[in-house]
Copies of this chain bind each other. A is one copy, B any other.
Amino acid sequence: MIDVASTRAEVRPAAVAVVVDVLRATSSIVQALSSGYERVLCAASIERARELRAPGRVLAGERRCVPPPDFDLGNSPGGFERPRGSELILATTNGAPALVAATESAERVLVAALLNLDAVTAALAGEEDVLLVCAGTDGRLALEDVYVAGRLALRLPGPRTDAARAAECVAAHYPSPIEALRDSADARALAAVGLQDDLLACARESVIDAVPEAVSGAAGVAVVTENPETLTYANAGRSPLNTLASDP
């Protein structure tokens, strides 16, 4: 069954969860991994992100769209085009907690944005139990995430829930991604802090081939990488979870 969770409160067990926070967390993650960051550590809170700070790690994220004063970067995809370290710590209001929730419920978690729409579609070939998770905004439905979930649902075969059909209606309604993004409340919130150009960066479709995958890290952290198998350490006692739990 193809299903859509319109906010992270609706996350439930599934074979594959696909997390969407197109404005901007998942766009930033896709951009960062494509640009050369090895891993993105998504923290469910600003405090958790600060605890993960360490040499070689770049601290990025936002509260109310802007970065906390002690952070290295905000949450604009353009800020991740050149890696400033090997690992990115990303704390965002909606996307990071949605990723953490998904890794706690689904067997496999992919990270989707418009930037990697074709690549995610290809990665879902043959999957029959897919939950498209819209991060939403402060617990409420975000139009742009439902649009991207609907775009993906329209490309997947097989039976689908009413929630997936509704998302498909949203996707079919907009002639182009930028129109859907511009109609959202988050677009207005970004414009209010001068970040309207982020919409253009996030509206680019299928320009990146990366399909990031998230696994559960330490409490409140999801580890995202293009190659989750690399997270299995030779030393069995030193899982990524343990590594993170003892960091910094």
A interface list, Cβ under 8 A from B: 6, 9, 137, 140-143, 146, 161-163, 165-167, 169-170, 172-173, 183-185
Contact = CB atoms under 8 A, between A and B. Distances in A.
B166 A170 contact: yes
Contact of A173 (B173, B183, B184): B173
- Smallest CB-CB A-B distances: 8 pairs: A143-B162, A169-B173, A169-B170, A141-B163, A169-B169, A166-B170, A162-B185, A143-B165
A166 B163 contact: no
20 contacts: A6-B6, A6-B163, A140-B161, A140-B162, A140-B163, A141-B161, A141-B163, A141-B166, A143-B162, A143-B165, A146-B162, A161-B185, A162-B184, A162-B185, A165-B183, A165-B184, A166-B166, A166-B167, A169-B173, A173-B173
A162 B141 CA distance: 6
Number of identical protomers: 2
Contacts of A162: 137, 140-143, 146, 184-185
Contacts of A184: 162, 165
Contacts of A141: 6, 161-163, 166
Contacts of A173: 169, 172-173
A77 to B, nearest CB: 21
Contacts of A6: 6, 141, 163
Contacts of A165: 143, 183-184
Q: Output the residue of A161, A170, A184 with the most chain B CB within 10 A.
A: A170
A142 B183 CA distance: 24
A207 to B, nearest CB: 25
A35 B142 CA distance: 41
A163 to B, nearest CB: 4
Contacts of A166: 141, 143, 146, 166-167, 170
